[in-house]
Chains A and B, each alone.
Chain A
Amino acid sequence: MMPQPNDLVPKWVLGLLNNLFEIEKKIEMSSEHSNLKRNVDRMKELLADQKVFFENPMGERFSETRTDLEATITGTGTDDLRVIDVIKPIIRFGDRALSRVVQKGIVVVESTQNQSEKGESNV
């Protein structure tokens, strides 16, 4: 039988990583908490030692062959999609050189043609 993700990474570890990702996101959005970045990095190191890490796919291309993301399309158009919102990150088990996806990222994607038409940033 294939190794199941719960065999490799327990749910509570995924929960920790998801929350750590959110903390990181909030730090990036406001300049006043930048002193917390070091602690977040340290926690990520400790988790990486245990072979779990997350990745933020913000801005990356999305297409129908990409299976590490659970995507929802917004706006019109379905070609040249890019990730514009990340609700949950991709979580992988392993190390940089060899790993596997244990949690798909949950994202919102939009066609780049749409974005260039819009001009100003809004939600």
Chain B
Amino acid sequence: MSNTINFGIDLGTSNSLIARFDRGNVEVFRNPNGFKETLPSVVGFRNDRILVGDQARVYLQRDPKSVVSRFKRKMGTTETFKIKSLSSSKSPVELSAYVLKELKTFVQSGESVDSAVITIPASFDTVQSNATKEAGLQAGFKTVVLLQEPIAASLAYANKEKSVDLKNSQWLVYDLGGGTFDVALVKIQEGELTVVDHEGDNYLGGTDLDALIVERLVAPALEKMGAFTDLVDNMKSESGKYNRLWQTLLIQAELAKVELSTKTSAEIDLGTISDLTDDNGRSIDSLITITRSEFELIVKDAVDSTIDMMKKILTRNSLQSSDLQFVLMVGGSTYIPYVRKRVEEVMGIAVNTTVDPTNAIVIGAAYFSGTREKSKQAIDSRKPLSKLKIRASYNKSSQEKEETFSAKVEGDLAGLQYRISNEDGSYDSGLKKLTARINEDLPLREGAFNLFNFKVTDREGNPVLIDIDSIQIAQGRYSVAGQMLPEDISLVKDDLSIQDTRLEELFAKNSILPSRIKKTVEVGKTIVKGASDGVHIMVVEGPSNRHSSTNKPIGVLSITGEKISKDLIKGTDIDLTFEMSESRDLTVSAFVNGTGQEFSQVFTPKERNVSTQVLASEILLLETKIQAEIEDAAETNNKALASELENALSKVQDLIVNAGAISEDDVTDKKFQIEDQKRKLAQVIFELTSNKRLDQAKADYLETRSAVQQLVRESGNDRERHIVSEMFAREQSFLNSSTPEKILAVTKELNAIRGQILMRTPEFLQGMFQHLMQRRASMNDQIQATQLIENGRRAIDRDDVDTLRQINARLWDLMPATEKTSEEMRAYTGIV
């Protein structure tokens, strides 16, 4: 365990950050909710909750009696902030402590954050500095070491550019953040980094620039588009007619400003602002373009004021620009190219943008923390583990939009707080006082599993052990019969590569109803208008990793040539929607893109829907299958299997005769009987051959595996190596499964990677090229073929793999259709 402090904190006026030093590297932490590195330095007290950061910032200017910010500049004063809801006041120290405690929650590794280096502005005097230390102690830090911000930034630079020697130089640190500006003169005095002088403006930052964009560029543009009187006043005033527009435009302006840092123009699309009308009610929908030069013009005065402050420092210290090594740029607003350009051009000093402006200060603080030791107190202190007894009660499943979580708590509750948050990032109760009985209304996401965390912390923000795990509440409406879906529901599609059909899952077993899903499929073969042939949208019930023949048919929506208004060309999309009601009625709707027609049918579980046409083709398919299996069994000398299969075959052949005898509109139960018999036979076959298929799948996998393993080692890239080694790590689990389909899926993935790599391998591509060259006589366009082959030879000579790949593709396209894979097969469903 390290004895150095290791944690650095930038406690900023607008935003704060926390980082850690670990064996030479610095990691900046992110808020587990929202993943941002920065935490707004805002604290709010609303409805018995303590909110810190983004949650509080929303209410900032709107609820000044309950939400506070910018308390950093009041540190060390006796000024306090009246909090209406608490009927008491909070000091800047207490508020800063809340921010520090919240930053501690960014550290999720379980390690205790008991010491920190906290940064302070160069302008802070002793009283202000002590106040910062005090805030750190209140937040539970045993050791607090302070570091001036410009020095922290300089350390970040020095650690990044390790070879630079700053010993005999001095430089300026220019910090333009979200709401404040600071500039400091730094040099090394007696071996130590020291701030020699500083200037600043507490009320100049990025947010002011956003306001300038809206006021000086957007508002005038709007005034040209419509009738507006006193537009700016009406926007800025809280009760003004256009206040909502002001807020929306500020957000858009900030986004545009950021874009202008990398592009020379940005757009604000008024068309996305709903209900945008002028004073006469006329609607406005237009694009406002902001160019970089327009932006630079309006912010010039603000930027020049910062330069004036820099000049003051030089004058005061009798320095010339040439005496300074560089100007180090810190703070989000220094991303703006104009700021950098203007500073360099007016001051005549090189601008240094090596460090990341947003987190340079916290990174410098973290480096510093790696060099300072904790106080003995921090190392020795071992807190006694306090355990609380909590008995929680809540509904584990609900049909409401909210559920109440209640708990009875026993133990020493002094100074303790609790906090409940949703793991998906959508809810955070904020810190609330832990009392003997607590109640919290938790909002639920409809039709979903809701997972909440329940955490307890002490006065200093340290976690307290409790024995509650996560709170799990499932929200959903169950079917009227009180049951969920008992089996998978799947769509049947043709799979040309295996000359068979396969299932695509629509609704999984145990799904909560009602449910709805959309799928788009392609027409597998052209259906001519008027033909009796068609595509069949077939839905079955049963395990989705099986086959359509073994599962129960729920219904078929047939789109035949007789129904369509024009030819349905192969490759056309059909948009399908499947809706299952609580009582398990299935509505299948199909929109045929080629003809613009919509077909729909409802299948209820009480009526079974069997299409004799589909039934007949399924039985034939089954016969073919069994015959193939019998041949296979004979080859492998599996007499027992062969005889069982022969048995099944004769039964299937009887069925074919029976099925042939029924007409399409038969109203007796005959077709249902035949369907049942077919299904039972299919299940028998499935079981009989499952072992064989399993062994085959395993063998295929192992063969592919060794081929791919070598290939990836020789020619794979990092990503491919990673994916493949991950697959091999999982090997045991799917090889031991009893479903060949799982294994086949992985083999398919491996083959895809193999194909990917081969397509980059020169030897493979050359071999393919040779093969195609030999076939040139049969190609469709001889002139093109000759040209391509000529280009191909040249590509090989200069080792141009990419061109060779393209040439191979084009040569392949010239091959006559029959030479490519023959995809002629009897389509079953007609959709792929």
Verify B248–A108 contact, CB threshold 8 A: yes
Residue of A nearest to B246 (CB): A74
B199 within 8 A of A: no
Assess the A64–B49 pair: CB atoms within 8 A.
yes
Question: In the bound complex, what is the Cα–Cα distance between A76 and B108 (angstroms)?
Answer: 38
Most buried by A among B54, B62, B575: B62
Q: Is B486 an interface residue (CB 8 A)?
A: no
B251 lies within 8 A of A65 (CB): no
Select A64's contact among B59, B269, B426, B520, beta carbons within 8 Å.
Answer: B59
**Total A-B contacts with CB atoms under 8 angstroms apart:** 134
Complex Cα spacing A76 to B519, Å = 46
Contact A100 B35 (CB under 8 A): no
B575 & A38 in contact (Cβ 8 Å cutoff): yes
B272 and A22 contact, CB distance less than 8 A: yes
Do B271 and A26 touch across chains, with their CB atoms under 8 A apart?
yes
A67 touches B44 (CB 8 A): no
The interface centre, meaning the residue of A45, A67, A77 with most chain B CB atoms within 10 A of its CB, is A67
Query: In the docked arrangement, what's the CA distance between A29 and B276, Å?
Result: 12
A64 touches B58 (CB 8 A): yes
Contacts of A25 in B (CB 8 A): 272, 274
User: Which of A38, A73, A84, A104 meets B59, CB within 8 Å?
Assistant: A73
Asked whether, in the complex, the Cβ of B247 is within 8 Å of the Cβ of A74, the reply is yes
| B267-301 interface code vs A (CB 8 A; 1 in, 0 out) | 00101111111000000000000000000000000
- The residues of B that contact A5 with a CB separation of less than 8 Å are 35
- Any A CB within 8 A of the CB of B424: yes
Q: In the complex, what residues of A have CB within 8 A of residue B247's CB?
A: 72-74, 108
Q: Closest B-chain residue to A26, C-beta based?
A: B271
Judge whether B238 and A96 touch: CB under 8 Å: no
State the interface size on chain A (CB cutoff 8 A).
44
Between A64, A96, A106, the greatest number of chain B beta carbons within 10 A of the residue's beta carbon is seen for A64
In the assembled complex, the CB of B14 is this many whole angstroms from the nearest CB of chain A, namely 15
CB pair A45–B426 under 8 Å, yes or no, is no
A-contact bits for B32-63, CB 8 A (1 contact / 0 none): 11110000000010110101001110110011
B272 cross-chain contacts in A, Cβ below 8 A: 22, 25-26, 87
| A108 near B62: Cβ-Cβ < 8 Å | no
- Residue of B whose beta carbon sits closest to that of A123: B245
Partner of A67, one of B33, B250, B519: B33
Whether a CB of chain A sits under 8 angstroms from the CB of B560 is no
B54 & A70 in contact (Cβ 8 Å cutoff): yes
Is there a chain A Cβ closer than 8 Å to B80's Cβ? no
From known contacts A74-B243, A85-B274, A87-B248, infer whether A64 and B108 are also in contact, taking CB-CB under 8 Å: no
Contact A73 B58 (CB under 8 A): yes
Q: Determine whether A121 belongs to the interface, using a CB cutoff of 8 Å to chain B.
A: yes
Q: Mark A63-85, 1 if CB is under 8 A from B, else 0.
A: 01111101111111110000011
- Stretch in B310-318, B321-329, B427-435, B619-627 with 4+ CB within 8 Å of A: B427-435
What CA separation (Å) do A5 and B275 show in the bound complex? 33
Across the interface, do A65 and B63 meet the contact criterion of CB distance under 8 Å? no
Chain A positions 5 through 39: 1 when the CB is less than 8 Å from some CB of chain B, otherwise 0: 10000000000000000100110010000000010
Smallest CB–CB gap between A85 and chain B, Å? 6
**For residue A5, which residue of chain B has the nearest CB?**
B35
* A64-B59, A72-B251 known; A45-B243 Cβ under 8 A: no
Q: Is the CB of A64 within 8 A of B271?
A: no
Taking the closest CB of chain B, its distance from the CB of A15, in whole angstroms, is 12
B243: chain A residues at CB < 8 Å are 74-75
B245 near A106: Cβ-Cβ < 8 Å: no
Decide if B519 touches A99 in the complex (CB within 8 Å). Answer: no
Q: Quick check: is A122 within 8 A (CB to CB) of the other chain?
A: yes
B670: chain A residues at CB < 8 Å are none
Question: Contact at B425–A100, with CB atoms within 8 Å?
Answer: yes
Q: Which residues in A have their C-beta under 8 angstroms from that of B32?
A: 2
User: Once bound together, how far apart are the Cα atoms of A96 and B520, in whole Å?
Assistant: 19
In contact, A85 and B273 (Cβ under 8 angstroms)? yes
A63 nearest in chain B by CB position: B47
Give the Cβ gap from B419 to chain A, nearest Cβ, in Å: 11
**B35, B63, B427 interface centre (most CB from chain A within 10 Å):** B35
**B423 close to A (CB within 8 Å):** yes
Q: Is A101 an interface residue (CB 8 A)?
A: yes
Give bound CA distance, A65 to B277, whole Å.
Answer: 33
- Nearest B-chain residue to A45, judged by Cβ: B518
Given the interface contacts A64-B49, A67-B426, A74-B244, does A99 sit within 8 Å of B275 by beta carbon?
no
Interface residues of B in 136-156 (CB under 8 A from A): none
Which of chain B's residues have a CB closer than 8 A to the CB of A75?
238-239, 243-244
Bound: A101/B46 CA distance, A: 24
Residue numbers in A under 8 Å from B108 (CB-CB): 1-2
Closest residue on chain A to residue B238 by CB atoms? A76
**Interface code A41-57, partner B: CB below 8 Å = 1, 0 otherwise?**
11001000000000000
The answer, yes or no, to whether B447 is at the interface (CB within 8 Å) is yes
| Chain B positions within 8 Å of A104 at CB level | 34, 425
Q: Are B273 and A76 in contact (CB under 8 A)?
A: no
How close is B69's CB to chain A, nearest CB, in angstroms?
A: 15
A64→B251 contact, CB < 8 A: no
Q: A86 to nearest B CB, angstroms?
A: 8
Is B430's CB under 8 angstroms from A64's CB?
yes
B518, A100: Cβ atoms under 8 Å?
Answer: no
Contact B424 A110 (CB under 8 A): no
B396 at the interface (CB under 8 A from A): no
Instruction: State A71–B251 Cα separation when bound (angstroms).
Output: 10
Q: Is B449 an interface residue (CB 8 A)?
A: yes
Q: B229-262 CB contact bits vs A (8 Å, 1 = yes)?
A: 0000000001101111111101110000000000
Q: Let me know if A4 is at the binding interface, CB within 8 A.
A: yes
The CA-CA distance from A98 to B470 in the complex, in Å, is 15
6 smallest beta-carbon distances between A and B, as pairs: A101-B425, A68-B426, A74-B244, A100-B424, A123-B245, A72-B247
B residues with CB within 8 A of A:
30, 32-35, 44, 46-47, 49, 51, 54-56, 58-59, 62-63, 108-109, 238-239, 241-248, 250-252, 269, 271-277, 421, 423-430, 443, 447-449, 512, 518-520, 575, 591
Name 9 interchain pairs, CB-CB below 8 A, sorted by A: A67-B425, A72-B248, A72-B250, A72-B251, A75-B239, A87-B251, A87-B272, A100-B423, A123-B276
> Can you name 20 extra interface pairs (CB under 8 A) apart from A42-B520, A64-B49, A85-B248?
A22-B269, A25-B274, A64-B46, A65-B55, A65-B429, A65-B430, A67-B425, A68-B425, A71-B58, A72-B251, A73-B59, A73-B247, A75-B239, A96-B447, A96-B448, A97-B449, A100-B423, A101-B424, A122-B242, A123-B241
Chain A contact residues, CB within 8 Å of chain B: 1-2, 4-5, 22, 25-26, 29, 38, 41-42, 45, 64-68, 70-78, 84-85, 87, 92, 96-101, 104, 106, 108-110, 121-123
